[in-house]
Amino acid sequence: ADMFANEEGGPEPDWVTTEREQFSDFRDLNKDGKMDKDEIQHWILPQDYDHALAEARHLVYESDVDKDQKLTKEEVLDNWNMFVGSQATNYGEDLTRNHDEL
**Amino acid found at 73:** K
- State how far Cα 77 lies from the chain centre: 23
Tell whether 38 and 54 lie within a shared domain.
no
Task: Tell me, yes or no, whether 100 lies in a domain.
Answer: no
pTM, whole model, 2 decimals? 0.46
Tell whether 54 and 74 lie within a shared domain.
yes
Task: Tell me, yes or no, whether 59 lies in a domain.
Answer: yes
State the pLDDT at residue 13: 85
Tell whether 32 and 58 lie within a shared domain.
no
Q: What is the pLDDT of residues 23-50, one digit of tens each?
A: 999 999 999 999 999 999 988 888 888 8
State the pLDDT at residue 57: 92
> Which domain covers residue 68, as residue numbers?
49-92
pLDDT beneath 50: ranges in the chain: none
State the pLDDT at residue 51: 77
Tell whether 53 and 88 lie within a shared domain.
yes
Contacts of 20 (CB under 8 A, 6+ apart): none
Task: Tell me, yes or no, whether 97 lies in a domain.
Answer: no
State the pLDDT at residue 68: 95
